[in-house]
Amino acid sequence: MKPAKPSALPNVPLFNFQYRHGLRVSEVISLRWDQVELKAGHLAVVRLKNGVPSTHPLRGPELRALRQLRGTGRRTSRTCSCRNVADR
């Protein structure tokens, strides 16, 4: 059995991001660019289901991936859609 090519696993960055920050699928899908502070390295998380909003630090690999995604133009004007991350 051959190892999978990186392009064969397009959702791995999304799953890692979701796991690291403990996000529900609905929270990932509803992320907007105005919640991401690339210069400060923070993500403002709006919790669903009566959760408490919080701020999460963004680390090197996440920041690089988000900066690259933001620069590609593969996004709507305000939404950071999980489909954009999956396209990588």
What is the reported pTM? 0.62
Distances (CA, A) of 62 to 3, 23, 43, 51, 56: 24, 15, 11, 24, 12
Q: Which has the higher per-residue pLDDT, 22 or 80?
A: 22
Q: Nearest CA to 72 among 85, 59, 61, 82?
A: 85
Residue range 2-59, pLDDT digits in tens: 665 555 555 667 788 888 888 888 888 888 899 999 999 999 998 877 888 889 999 8
Token look-up 């701020």 returns: 55
Lowest average pLDDT, out of 26-35, 59-68, 75-84, goes to 75-84
Domain ranges of the chain: 6-86
Rounded CA-CA distance 57/37 in Å is 10
Task: Note the pLDDT of residue 44.
Answer: 92
User: What angle separates helix 12-21 from helix 60-72, to the nearest 10 degrees?
Assistant: 130
